[in-house]
Structure formats: structure tokens, C-alpha cells
């Protein structure tokens, strides 16, 4: 039985890479909505590149290699061209100091005319490396928490601000950020979606770079489910936020917007574990944050540091998603 690695072009122009033993049947499965979750909303799908592998292991390794290619390199592969000088893979080499320098100058010159003159710098120093970082961390999350995904098109937040209801009419954000989300909950993350489940977040800014995880200011239905789960089993949540790895990297939950008393409808209990529940019930936001130094941001080892951060945050993210109703996964399915 021969294994194949394929690249498929989706209806929105993006490229999806996978493995299969029957390319024709796999293409049909994608177009019938029985393929990968990524392709279900991007039909029709057409296989545009196919390679034969010596076995399943070799196919998986080649799939990972293709996924790490930049978009231009994938297009060259699809069109059968040789890779020119300067076109490499998405192996992450860190942001250059110029990335933070651009954001620092954007604070002083937050005007459309200035940004358009420096758009190429933004794309080279920030947007493209951030997309590469998303791809790198998505590969690592496939091992840590397969249900949490990153997509360069959806995960990277836009640089433009929504100024419709703001007194501040500055057109651009002075930070660059990306979000990793539950594959069933995070549709539209890159378009500043406020809904969805718990996830992971990375922000780059002059003096304000950080990594975070959890769920910020959930809507009332999600908050009610979280509070019910806290009342039912406060010890499980308590163990997560008191775990050594979590406290070593993040200290404690962020105390933003905490209530001074129990929310309406909850009364003090008499059991010993009620005190734990009552403490967490006063939270309206469930996030943990660690500051990133400029040295970390500009290091080629940034993905390794983020992987350790994500590993410490995954139990919190999974608990919150479980309370809301999103399941954890053991692996990402390559075959439908």
C-alpha cells in the first residue's frame, strides 16, 4: 500500500497539506465535507501536488517538511520550480530588533501616510515572521494539545484598529499579536473575534511583549458554565493554578476585573473546599501572563521558550474549554 503526500488548493487560495493512501478518494472526501476541519469551509478543494513516500513514517516527515515551508516556497513546489536564493523554510530565526523598533516608531507616527511609506518594513520585520512563528508553534501544539491550532491567515491579528466607537482615532495598533485557538471554537481569530473558547496568545510590543493563555472576560453564558464547574469541583481548578510549572512561569492568575464579593446567586458554603470555590468565583477573567524580554523576542530560541510556556498553560486552557463544552484531543487526524 503506497503512501502519498499531497498539497491541495482550497477555494480561498490557501494550501492544505496531508497524507493519504488514495489521493482521488481523499480529494473527494474533502469536497464532501468529510476531510480535515480546515478544508470544510474552504471547498471546493483540488489536489495540485502529489509525492509518493516509502511508508507512513516517511510521509508524515515529508508532510511536516512541506508545512514548514513559507507560502512562496509552497507555491514554487506546486508549480515545480526550483527554490531561488532567499526563499527558505519557515524555520523560525527570531524577530530582528528592527521589529520592535518599527512598533516604537509607529507610536510616534501613527498616521496612514507614514505607515504606507513603511509598509514593506512592517511586512518584512513583523507580519511575515509572525506568520512563520504561528506555523512553527502550530507544529509544536500538535504534540502538546492537538485541539489547539494556529493558522497564519486566521491567527495573526490585523494591524488596523477599529476606530468606529473609539475617541482615539489612531488607525494602527502599536503591537503585533497572534492567537492559538480551539479548532471548534476559534473561527475568525485573526479578525479580532471576541467569542470562542480559551486559547493561547503572543504579543509583541515595545516594552510590552508577553505570552498569555486562558479566557479573557468570557461572555455571560460561558462565564456561568465556568462558575458552575468551579462549584462542582474547585479542587481540580485549584491544582492547575497551583502546579509548580504554572507558578514558576506565571505566578498566578491575572487579577483583572475581580469582584469584591461573590456573584449574585452564590452564597458562602460550609465545606472546607467552599473557600477555594469562593475565591475563584470572584474572577471574571481567567488568564495568566508572562512578560517577554526584548532579548527573548529577538532570539531564534523563542519557539522553544513559548513551547514551555504553552505546556504550563495547556491544563488551564483545557479546563476552561472543558467547562464551556469543547473537548481535548489526543491527536490531529490526517485521514478522514
pLDDT in tens, 1-54: 689 999 999 988 899 999 999 888 999 999 999 999 899 999 999 998 888 888
Tell me, yes or no, whether 298 lies in a domain: no
Mean pLDDT of 169-194: 75
Q: Both 202 and 225 in a single domain?
A: no
Could you give the angle at which helices 234-241 and 274-281 cross, rounded to 10 degrees?
70
Report helix, strand or coil for 15.
strand
| Residue 17 · residue 139 · CB < 8 Å | no
Q: Both 157 and 224 in a single domain?
A: no
Q: Both 138 and 61 in a single domain?
A: no
C-alpha cell at 317: 486552557
The number of folded domains in the chain is: 3
* Matching residue, cell 455571560: 220
Q: Both 36 and 62 in a single domain?
A: yes
Range of 245's domain? 215-290+313-324
Tell me, yes or no, whether 296 lies in a domain: no
Planar angle of CA 233, 253, 159, nearest 5 degrees: 125
| Residue 204 · residue 125 · CB < 8 Å | no
Tell me, yes or no, whether 122 lies in a domain: yes
Q: Both 139 and 228 in a single domain?
A: no
Tell me, yes or no, whether 63 lies in a domain: yes
Distances (CA, A) of 208 to 52, 100, 111, 214, 219: 47, 10, 21, 19, 26
Tell me, yes or no, whether 263 lies in a domain: yes
Q: What is the pLDDT of residues 162-180, one digit of tens each?
A: 888 888 999 999 999 999 9
Tell me, yes or no, whether 70 lies in a domain: yes
Q: What percent of the chain stands above pLDDT 70? A: 89
Q: What percent of the chain stands above pLDDT 90? A: 59
Q: Both 278 and 184 in a single domain?
A: no
Tell me, yes or no, whether 10 lies in a domain: yes
Supply the pLDDT for residue 152: 84
Q: Both 179 and 237 in a single domain?
A: no
CB atoms within 10 A of CB 141: 22
Q: Both 52 and 101 in a single domain?
A: no
Alpha carbon distance 257, 285 (integer Å): 7
Supply the pLDDT for residue 128: 87
More confident residue, 245 or 331: 245
Alpha carbon distance 141, 148 (integer Å): 7
Alpha carbon distance 180, 147 (integer Å): 10
**Which of 183, 214, 245 is the last residue before a domain boundary?**
214
β-sheet with 175-182: strand ranges across: 148-149, 175-182, 199-205, 210-215, 286-291
**Which of 180, 214, 248 is the last residue before a domain boundary?**
214
C-alpha cell at 92: 523560525
Supply the pLDDT for residue 71: 81
Alpha carbon distance 158, 175 (integer Å): 10
**CATH number for position 30:** 3.40.1440.10
Tell me, yes or no, whether 161 lies in a domain: yes
Buried b (16+ CB within 10 A) or exposed e, 7-35: bbbbeeebbbbbbbeebeebbebbbeeeb
Amino acid at each position: 500500500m503506497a503512501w502519498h503526500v499531497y498539497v491541495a488548493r482550497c477555494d480561498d487560495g490557501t494550501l492544505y497539506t496531508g497524507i493519504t493512501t488514495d489521493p482521488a478518494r481523499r480529494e473527494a472526501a474533502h469536497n464532501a465535507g468529510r476531510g480535515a476541519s480546515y478544508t470544510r469551509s474552504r471547498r471546493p478543494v483540488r489536489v495540485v501536488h502529489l509525492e509518493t513516500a516509502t511508508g507512513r513514517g516517511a510521509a508524515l516527515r515529508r508532510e511536516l517538511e512541506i508545512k514548514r515551508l513559507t507560502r512562496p516556497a509552497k507555491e514554487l513546489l506546486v508549480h515545480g520550480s526550483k527554490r531561488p536564493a532567499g526563499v527558505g523554510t519557515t524555520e523560525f530565526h527570531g524577530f530582528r530588533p528592527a521589529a520592535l523598533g518599527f512598533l516604537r516608531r509607529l507610536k510616534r507616527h501613527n498616521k496612514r501616510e507614514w505607515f504606507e511609506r513603511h509598509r514593506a518594513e512592517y511586512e518584512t520585520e513583523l507580519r511575515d515572521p509572525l506568520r512563520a512563528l504561528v506555523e512553527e508553534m502550530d507544529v509544536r501544539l500538535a504534540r502538546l494539545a492537538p485541539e489547539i491550532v494556529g493558522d497564519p491567515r486566521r491567527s495573526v491579528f490585523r494591524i488596523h484598529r477599529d476606530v468606529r466607537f473609539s475617541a482615539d482615532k489612531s488607525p494602527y495598533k502599536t503591537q503585533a499579536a497572534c492567537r492559538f485557538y480551539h479548532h471548534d471554537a476559534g473561527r475568525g481569530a485573526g479578525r479580532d473575534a471576541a467569542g470562542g473558547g480559551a486559547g493561547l496568545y503572543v504579543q509583541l510590543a515595545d516594552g510590552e511583549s508577553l505570552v498569555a493563555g486562558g479566557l479573557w472576560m468570557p461572555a455571560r453564558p460561558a462565564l456561568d458554565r465556568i462558575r458552575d464547574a468551579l462549584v462542582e469541583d474547585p479542587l481540580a481548578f485549584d491544582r492547575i493554578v497551583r502546579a509548580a510549572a504554572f507558578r514558576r512561569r506565571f505566578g498566578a492568575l491575572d487579577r483583572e476585573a475581580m469582584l469584591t464579593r461573590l456573584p449574585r446567586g452564590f452564597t458562602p458554603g460550609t465545606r472546607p473546599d467552599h473557600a477555594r470555590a469562593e475565591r475563584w468565583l470572584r474572577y471574571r477573567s481567567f488568564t495568566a501572563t508572562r512578560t517577554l524580554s526584548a532579548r527573548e523576542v529577538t532570539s531564534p530560541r523563542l519557539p522553544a521558550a513559548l513551547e514551555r510556556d504553552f505546556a504550563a498553560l495547556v491544563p488551564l486552557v483545557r479546563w476552561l474549554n472543558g467547562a464551556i463544552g469543547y473537548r481535548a484531543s489526543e491527536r490531529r487526524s490526517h485521514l478522514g
